[in-house]
Structure 1
Amino acid sequence: MGVTAQSVWDNCLDFIKDNIQPQAYKTWFEPIIAVKLTDNALSIQVPSKFFYEWLEEHYVKILKVSLTKELGETAKLVYIIKMENTYGNKQPFTEKIPSSNRSSVKSQDVDIPFNNKSPELRNPFVIPGIRNVKIESQLNPNYSFENFLEGDSNRLARSAGLAVSAKPGGTSFNPLLVFGGVGLGKTHLAHAIGVDIKDKYPEKTVLYISAEKFTQQYIDAVKKNNRNDFIHFYQIIDVLIIDDVQFFSGKTGTQDVFFHIFNHLHQNGKQVILTSDKAPVDMQDIEQRLLSRFKWGLSAELQTPDFETRVSILKNKLYRDGVEMPEDIIEYVAKNIKTNVRELEGAIISLIAQSSFNKKEITIDLARVIVEKFVKNTKREVSIDYIQKVVSDYFQMDVDTLQSKTRKRHIVQARQLAMFFAKKFTKASLASIGSQIGKRDHATVLHACKTVDNLSSTDKQFRKYVEDISKKLSV
């Protein structure tokens, strides 16, 4: 068989995989598709413009080395950027970009103009009747980059946040969507970006608002018949930060108005920052055209911090509060509170309060009492590894068998149950669950969950499996 685009790209990937971090490989190289090979030029398709820019900025050397190894000194790399257009036809909007020559890609989109009957802007943040055009940013200055500590779990999101705050609207991270479970720092990071932008660009209008409040304002605007004023108010914002955007689920009017606001801001080079408790692919009841907008920029996940990061977070908190604490106690707290930064800091605050109010010395015993309260009061989130172990033990197989590619019915069912419980008991995205259970994609996980639901309602034996494993995981 001759040399093909796929075989050349596979060889490049083997080389790249050996030379970069696994997480970076997964994020930046797995989504690339080899398209064609002509005259020593390999064409690869990337999902968006920011993707192409990130590759060019961070991985151009390794790409060049790997391609030169395969095709010789005259090797060229051509990027094809696939963007979804908005006209309902399925043709992708692509543009070829030679590695040496950057050119900008415009999305094919239309903005729907709104006739503004009243030139006076009504600010939804101001009490009616009081004229005030100055827009307060609603930011919390305590949430800054200084106290948002970097670790493996948040590096991509934090770096993208810093890039956005250095050049709002001027990077391809637009929108920047930060997603992750409860208490991992989504709101903190969103505020930190806004605070940093206000410091660097005092003239820019920055606004932070929760999706819930945005929806409430929109409902009020419709009631008072000033929907256009509402839209125009949001269209003059330079940096719009919307927290918990999953709240828009099922609210078609709010989604529609946000779609037009988003288009206007995006086309005018304004920055949009969104947070959500799930990845776009996992969002239910959000219109497709809006989800495709969310995917234009960067979706960055905040994951559970590892032990070292948890220790750093605690030390930073103690340092900011001017409190000293023995190393073994800090490590004990970090070892036992794993899933949530908010709980981690809460435990340390309780420990300091207990010791100062009761004039007690901070000891391991005191730490144990506090930590037990925290772990007891919060519903324990089980890990995907633990779920796989419980399911494997239940079916008397090892985890490697569960994750294997085999299509034997009983193993497939065990794997589907592991995926189902991972979705039920963890905050992980479907993509993340799939990658941890045998390197499957999010569609496989979705199919697994539906299969388990269907079998539970039709198959008595299968229902017993679900109930038994449920009990083991809920203990």
Structure 2
Amino acid sequence: MSETAQSVWNSCLAFIKDNITPQAYKTWFEPIQAVKLSDKALSIQVPSKFFYEWLEEHYVKLLKVSLNRVLGDQAKLVYVIRMENTYGNKQPFTEKIPSTNRTNHGSQEVDVPIKNKNPELKNPFIIPGIRNVKIESQLNPSYNFDNFLEGDSNRLARSAGLAVANKPGETSFNPLLIFGGVGLGKTHLAHSIGIEIKDKYPEKTVLYISAEKFTQQYIESVKKNNRNDFIHFYQIIDVLIVDDIQLLSGKAGTQDVFFHIFNHLHQNRKQVILTSDKAPVDMQDIEQRLLSRFKWGLSAELQQPDNDTRVSIIKNKLYRDGVDMPEEIVEFLANNIKTNIRELEGAIISLIAHSSFNKKDITLELAKKIVDNYVKNTKREVSIDYIQKVVSEYFQMDVETLQSKTRKRHIVQARQLAMFFAKKFTKASLASIGSQIGKRDHATVLHACKTVDNLASTDKQFNKFVDDINKKLTL
């Protein structure tokens, strides 16, 4: 690789990084490699045709400005599209991507495999819940993109889901792993993708299944001595959606069979969609070879919805149910139920039910009563923001100081305690905790947790810190 090409691209990246979110930068620009520089034309290598199309659609202006800053107004950008896998024994044909006049971008040849149209598939053996003649998708039509509202907390995952639904098996998001805490919409999004694919590609076989049911089916196939039939059945699926994949933890036999199914589907450009309550890096007792495959595509996190998103969710729910509710009550619900979407919708249903059964108007007083009762009967998850606030106040500093880059011992220890309690009290991934507490990486969070454990067992004063903060967070 030309050092000159790399230095030009590094200068572009420095500008790009300052103008987009860290997650977008990591997803769309870190995988790009500079290839060569010829006169004013910089060639960059991207992983797929879809990747190229996404850059052209969403970041073309940013790319042009960054390149013009480094090479001048005559700068051109040429994409080199790398197809890493050879799929099956099919011979590829060559498709030329047209250049776009508005950006002075060049074009490059790309190999795209011939599409394979499957005949109607027959179920080779009876699986409970799936009819023997035709494979039913097991999808819930009430979970769709129309009622999966977009917000800052889910924008990446939702956008990736739509991209997969438009071109299943043909994007760089294979597998697409959606992870996040309880009630944040992982299952909803997975079903939405499947429903969208069925609408756009009715000839494709789509199957949704929980990891728990997959495990039960595998055990049953071993008992009946038809393990090969079980594997073959899953290998003929076009789009496989597996919910709660972390439940394969510790199940060596199920992991092994899923490994072979996954490999076959991926090599044949079949789409795999997974959901998990944790990121791959945080999964325990999952074989390394399987974890590495989970990381091949995109891991997209669903976080707790912000206030604007919660308001939109409430209004959408009320609209679908044909219920009018004063704006002040909508705001009250959004401000007081922050843990997850499931709890929020549950409170709305309770409020509507109480109003209907008791023949009373929906008032702020009734809303407060419902929320008080609902919160008392619901195990609430402490937020990372709240943990940082409690720790900062305990050590008499502000949150900005806690998150700062300083290496002063008492501030470092406060930051480590915040990370420790975030891991203890939330379902956020290590990467998410690090990102929210001073933009650190997951390794820093892991080190912080180990340090707190060690100091708590050897330092009486530090152990008192841990006990005091723990009491404040569990009141």
2:119 aligned partner: none
Rate the CA distance shift 1:445–1:189 in 2: closer, same or farther, 3 A.
same
TM-aligned CA distance change 1:396 to 1:8, over 3 Å: farther
Aligned positions of 1:216-235 closer than 5 A: 216-235=216-235
**Structure-2 residue corresponding to 1:111:** none
Q: Is the 8 A contact 2:405 2:438 kept in 1?
A: yes
Which residue is 2:178 aligned to? 178
Q: Deviations over 1:41-61 (max 9, x none)?
A: 767787888656643542233
Aligned to 2:370: 370
SS of 2:229's partner is: helix
2:125 aligned residue: 122
Query: In the superposition, relative to structure 1, how do residues 49 and 448 fare at CA in structure 2: closer, same or farther (>3 Å)?
Result: farther
Give distance in 1, aligned partners of 2:12 and 2:138.
Answer: 48
Counting only pairs closer than 5 Å after superposition, residues 296-375 of structure 1 correspond to structure 2 as 296-375=296-375
Secondary structure at the residue paired with 1:203?
A: coil
What's the secondary structure of 2:110's corresponding residue?
coil
| CA 1:393–1:253: 2 relative to 1, 3 Å | same
Aligned sequence identity (%): 80
Q: Distance in 2 between matches of 1:145 and 1:321?
A: 17
- The alignment partner of 1:242 has SS state of strand
473 and 44 in structure 1: CA distance in 2 versus 1, 3 angstrom threshold: farther
Structure 1 stretch 195-204 or stretch 249-258: which is displaced more? 195-204
C-alpha distance in 2 between matches for 1:260 and 1:150 = 35
Distance in structure 2 (CA, Å) of the matches to 1:390 and 1:305: 21
Which amino acid letter does the alignment assign opposite residue 178 of structure 1?
A: I
Aligned to 2:137: 137
What is aligned with 1:206?
206
Answer yes or no: is the 8 Å Cα contact 2:210–2:244 preserved in 1: yes
Q: 1:71-100 CA deviation, whole Å, 9 max, x = no partner? A: 33356567797989xxxxxxxxxxxxx973
List gaps (5 residues or longer) in structure 2.
86-104, 114-121
**Corresponding residue for 1:412?**
412
How far apart are residue 28 of structure 1 and its match? 3.4
1:449 is aligned to 449
Secondary structure of the 1:103 match is: strand
* Residue 120 (structure 1) shift: 8.3
Would you say how many aligned residue pairs link Structure 1 and Structure 2?
445
Provide the C-alpha distance between the structure 2 equivalents of 1:151 and 1:43, rounded to a whole number of angstroms.
35
Question: CA offset at residue 33 of structure 1?
Answer: 7.7
Residues 191-241 of structure 1 deviation map (CA, whole Å, 9 limit, x = unaligned): 111122222222221111000110111111112221111101111111111
Structure 2 CA distance for aligned equivalents of residues 146 and 80 of structure 1 = 33
Normalising by structure 2, we get a TM-score of: 0.85
Q: 1:9 to 1:48 in 2, by over 3 A?
A: same
Residues 347 and 199 (structure 1 numbering): CA distance in 2 closer, same or farther, change over 3 Å?
A: same
Residue 280 of structure 2 is matched in structure 1 by 280
CA distance in structure 2 between the aligned counterparts of 1:422 and 1:415, rounded to whole angstroms: 11
Does residue 160 (structure 1) correspond to residue 167 (structure 2)? The answer is no
Q: Which moved more, 1:382-391 or 1:139-148?
A: 382-391
- Whole-angstrom distance in 2 between the partners of 1:421 and 1:410: 17
Counterpart contact for 2:246–2:277, Cα < 8 Å? yes
From the superposition, tell whether residues 461 and 330 of structure 1 become closer, same or farther in structure 2 (CA, over 3 Å). Answer: same
Residues 1:196 and 2:196 are matched in the alignment? yes
Letter in 1 for 2:145: F
List per-residue Cα deviations over 1:21-70 (Å, max 9, x = no partner).
565346434x4587787656767787888656643542233223212321
Provide the residue aligned with 1:436 in structure 2. Answer: 436
1:88 corresponding residue in structure 2: none
Task: Report the Cα distance in structure 1 between the residues aligned to 2:249 and 2:166, rounded to whole angstroms.
Answer: 31
Q: Identify which range, 72-81 or 230-239, moves more after superposition.
A: 72-81
* Further displaced range: 221-230 or 256-265: 221-230
The 3 A distance-change label for structure 1 pair 243 and 294 is: same
Q: Could you tell which deviates more after superposition, 37-46 or 233-242?
A: 37-46
Q: By how many angstroms is 1:254 displaced?
A: 0.9
TM-score (norm: length of structure 1) = 0.85
Say whether the 8 Å CA contact 1:207–1:239 is kept in structure 2.
yes
**Per-residue deviation at 1:384?**
1.8
Q: How does 1:39-78 map to 2 (within 5 A)?
A: 54-72=54-72, 73-74=74-75, 76=77
Within 5 Å, give how 1:2-17 maps onto structure 2. Answer: 8-9=8-9, 11-17=11-17
SS at match of 2:207: strand
Counterpart amino acid of residue 272 in structure 2: V
C-alpha RMSD over aligned residues: 3.0
State the alpha-carbon separation in 2 of the partners of residues 56 and 16 from structure 1: 15
Distance 1:252 1:42, change over 3 A: farther
Amino acid at match of 1:121: P
Q: Provide the C-alpha distance between the structure 2 equivalents of 1:136 and 1:80, rounded to a whole number of angstroms.
A: 36
Contact 1:249–1:286 (8 Å) recurs in 2 = yes
Question: Do 2:32 and 2:47's aligned partners in 1 also have CA atoms closer than 8 Å?
Answer: no
The residue aligned with 2:110 is 103
State the partner residue of 1:252.
Answer: 252
Kept in 2: contact 1:48–1:296 (CA 8 A): no
Contact 2:44 2:77 in 1 (8 A): no
| 2:151–2:305 Cα contact (<8 Å) kept | yes
Corresponding residue SS for 2:274: strand
289-298 or 251-260, which moves further after superposition? 289-298
Please give the per-residue CA displacement for 1:337-359, whole angstroms capped at 9, x wherever unaligned.
11211111111111111011111
Q: Secondary structure at the match of 1:446?
A: helix
**Separation in 1, partners of 2:189, 2:10:** 37
- What SS does the corresponding residue of 2:448 show, helix, strand or coil? helix
Mapped to 2, the partners of 1:358 and 1:244 lie a distance apart of 39
